[in-house]
Structure 1
Amino acid sequence: MESSELESDLLRRVRALLRELDGHHPSCQSDRGMLRWTLHKRTDQNPRTSCVLVSILVKELERAERGDLRHYIIPLLHTLMYTLIQAPCIPDELCARVYDFCKRLLTLPKPFCTIGLDYASRLQVERTAPGTLYQRMVISEQSLPSTPFPYQERLFIFADPELLPEAICKALATDTEVAQVSQSPRGCMSCVVTHALQAALGDTCDIHGLRARLQALPPGDVEHWFQQVVAAVEGAGSEGGSGRAQHTAQLERIYHGLLGSLPAGNAPQEELQGTPLPNPNISFHLWTEDEQLWKELVLFLRPLSQSCEPEGPGQEPEPAEMPEMLAGCGCCGQSRFSVLSTDSGIERDLPAQEEPCAPCAERSRLHRKGGIKKKPSPLDSVAFLQAGSAVPGGKPPGKMPSRAGVPPEPAAPLQRLHTARVVLLGDDRILGRLAQAFHSLRKREARRVFLTPRLDLQFYHIPVGPGQPQPSAAADHAGPEELCEVAGYLGRADPWYESNINTLCHIIPKLATMPSSPSRALVTDLFLTDVIAYYARMGTQPVCFQVHAIKVLFQDPAQDPAEDVFLTELLTRVQDSPSHRELSTTKRKSALDGPGMDLTVTYSRVVLSARQKELALSLRSTGLLMKAIPAEEAEDLGCLSVTITEIVKTSNLAGRSFSAVANRFRTRNIKIRSPEQRPFTVRLDKDSRRTYRDVVGLDVSPCLEPSYCLQKTRTTKFNPQETEDVGLVKYLPKSLLLPINTFAGVIP
Structure 2
Amino acid sequence: MESSELESDILRRVRALLRELDGHHPSCQSDRDPSLSELPCPGSPFSGMLRWTLHKNIEQNPSTSCVLVRILVKELERAERGDLRHYIIPLLHTLMYTLIQAPCIPDELCARVYDFCKRLLTLPKPFCTIGLDYASRLQVERTAPGTLYQRMVISEQSLRSAPFPYQEKIFIFADPELLPEAICNALVTDTEAAQVSQSPRGCMSCVVTHALQAALGDTCDIHGLRARLQALAPGDVEHWFQQVVVAVEGAASEGGSDRGQHTARLERIYHGLLGSLPTGNAPQEGLQGTPLPNPNISFHLWTEDEQLWKELVLFLRPLSQSCEPDCLGQELDPTEMQDILAGCGCCEQSRFSVLSTDSGIERDLPAQDEPCAADTEPSRLHRKGGIKKKLSPLDSVALLQAGSAVPAGKPPGKLPRGAGTAPQPLAPLQRRHTARVMLLGDDRILGRLAQAFHSLRKREARRVFLTPRLDLQFYHIPVLPGHPSAAADAAGPEGLCEVAGYLGRADPWYESNINTLCHMIPKLASMPSSPSRALVTDLFLTDVIAYYARMGTQPVCFQVHFVKVLFRDPAQDPAEDVFLTELLTQVQDSPSHRELSTTKRKSSLDGPGIDLTVTYRKVVLSDRHKELALALRSTGLLMKAIPAEEDEGLGCLSVTITEIIRINNLAGRSFSAVANRFKAQTVKIRSPEQRPFMVQLDKDSRRTYRDVIGLEVSPCLEPSYCLQKTKNMKFNLHKTEDMGLVKYLPKSLLLPINTFAGVIQ
TM-score of the aligned structures, taking structure 2 as reference length: 0.90
- The correspondence of residues 16-165 of structure 1 with structure 2, limited to 5 A, is 16-27=16-27, 29-165=44-180
Give the drift of 1:340: 13
Q: Which residue of 1 aligns with 2:689?
A: 676
Give the CA deviation at 1:394: 7.7
- Residue 17 of structure 2 contacts residue 51 of structure 2 at CA under 8 Å; is this kept in 1? yes
Q: Does 70-79 or 378-387 show the bigger shift?
A: 378-387
Please tell me the residue identity of whatever aligns with 2:278: P
Deviation at residue 390 of structure 1 after TM alignment: 3.5
Alignment partners' CA distance in 1, 2:227 and 2:356: 52
Contact 1:128 1:244 in 2 (8 A): yes
Contact 1:319 1:383 in 2 (8 A): no
Q: 1:710 to 1:589 in 2, by over 3 A?
A: same
Displacement after TM superposition at 1:413 (Å): 3.7
CA deviation vs aligned residue, 1:165-209 (integer Å, no higher than 9, x gap): 000000001100011111111111100000000000001000000
More moved, 26-35 vs 619-628: 26-35
- Displacement of 1:376 in angstroms is 1.6
Distance 2:82 2:373 in 1: 87
CA shift, 1:339, in A, is: 11
Structure 1 counterpart of 2:614? 601
Structure 1: distance between partners of 2:685 and 2:664: 28
Please give the secondary structure, in 1, of the residue aligned with 2:254.
coil
1:669 positional shift: 0.4
- Distance 1:319-1:5 versus aligned 2 partners, 3 A rule: closer
Q: Structure 1 residues 454 and 304 mapped into 2: Cα distance closer, same or farther (>3 Å)?
A: closer
User: Are 1:576 and 2:595 matched, yes or no?
Assistant: no
Q: Measured at CA, do residues 644 and 304 of structure 1 come closer, stay the same or move farther in structure 2, by a change above 3 Å?
A: same
CA contact (8 A) 1:320 1:383 kept: no
| Distance across 2 between alignment mates of 1:408 and 1:607 | 49
Pair 1:628 & 2:644 matched: no
Q: Which amino acid letter does the alignment assign opposite residue 710 of structure 1?
A: L
Quote the residue 1:689 is aligned against: 702
Task: State the match for 2:470 in structure 1.
Answer: 455
Q: Describe the SS at the equivalent of 1:267.
A: coil
Superposition map of 1:468-479 within 5 A: 468-469=483-484, 477-479=490-492
Distance in 2 separating the partners of 1:115 and 1:74: 8
Task: Provide the identity percentage.
Answer: 84
Return 710-719 or 165-174, whichever deviates more. Answer: 710-719
Q: Are residue 467 (structure 1) and residue 486 (structure 2) matched?
A: no
After superposition, residues 194-343 of structure 1 pair within 5 angstroms as 194-240=209-255, 242-264=257-279, 266-303=281-318
The Cα of 1:262 is off from its aligned counterpart by: 1.5
SS across alignment from 1:379: coil
Contact 1:130 1:196 in 2 (8 A): yes
CA distance in 2, matches of 1:225, 1:475: 55
Q: Which amino acid aligns with 1:112?
A: F
**Which aligned pairs between 1:2-13 and structure 2 lie closer than 5 A?**
2-13=2-13
Give unmatched runs, 5+ long, in structure 1: 308-317, 324-334
Separation in structure 2 between the aligned mates of residue 719 and residue 372 of structure 1, nearest angstrom: 48
Alpha-carbon distance in structure 1 between the residues aligned to 2:357 and 2:245: 44
In the alignment, the residues of structure 2 paired with residue 171 and residue 395 of structure 1 have an alpha-carbon distance, to the nearest angstrom, of 50
Determine if the alignment matches structure 1 residue 664 to structure 2 residue 680. Answer: no
Residue 477 of structure 1: how far off its partner (Å): 2.0
- Whichever residue aligns with residue 131 of structure 2, its letter is G
Q: Secondary structure at the match of 2:633?
A: strand
Secondary structure at the aligned position of 2:238 is classed as helix
Question: Closer, same or farther in 2 for the Cα pair 1:237/1:19, shift >3 Å?
Answer: same
Distance across 1 between alignment mates of 2:356 and 2:281: 64
Q: Distance in 1 between matches of 2:421 and 2:703?
A: 58
CA offset digits 1:235-258 (Å, max 9, x no partner):
101135631000000000000000
Instruction: Report if aligned partners of 2:309, 2:456 keep a CA contact under 8 Å in 1.
Output: yes
Deviation at 1:478, TM superposition (A): 1.9
TM superposition shift of 1:269: 3.0
Q: TM-score, normalized by length of structure 1?
A: 0.91
- Confirm or deny: 8 A CA contact 2:586 2:693 kept in the other structure: yes
Shift of 1:518: 1.6
RMSD: 2.9
Question: Contact 2:432–2:468 at 8 Å: present in 1 too?
Answer: no
Does the residue aligned with 2:491 lie in a helix, a strand or coil?
coil
1:128-171 deviation digits (Å, cap 9, x = unpaired): 00000000000111111111111000000000000000000000
Relative to 1, partners in 2 of residues 1:546 and 1:263: Cα closer, same or farther, differing over 3 Å?
same
**Other-structure match for 2:577:** 564
Structure 1 residue 527 displacement after superposition = 0.4
Within 2, Cα distance between the matches of 1:3 and 1:78?
25
Counterpart for residue 500 of structure 1: 513
- Paired position in structure 2 for 1:368: 384
Match of 2:349 in 1: none
Residues 322-721 of structure 1 mapped to structure 2, 5 A cutoff: 346-348=365-367, 349=369, 367-369=383-385, 371-390=386-405, 398-399=412-413, 410-469=425-484, 477-721=490-734
- Give the C-alpha shift of residue 469 in structure 1: 3.5
Give the AA of the match of 2:101.
Q
Query: Residues 457-504 of structure 1, C-alpha deviation per residue, up to 9 Å, x if partnerless?
Result: 00000000111136xx56862211100000000000000000000000
Unpaired segments of 5 or more residues in structure 2?
Answer: 28-42, 323-330, 337-353
2:638, 2:423 → 1: CA distance? 60
- 1:311 aligns with none
Structure 1 segments (4+ residues) deviating >4 Å: 304-307, 318-323, 335-345, 347-355, 393-397, 405-411, 473-476
Number of aligned pairs?
715
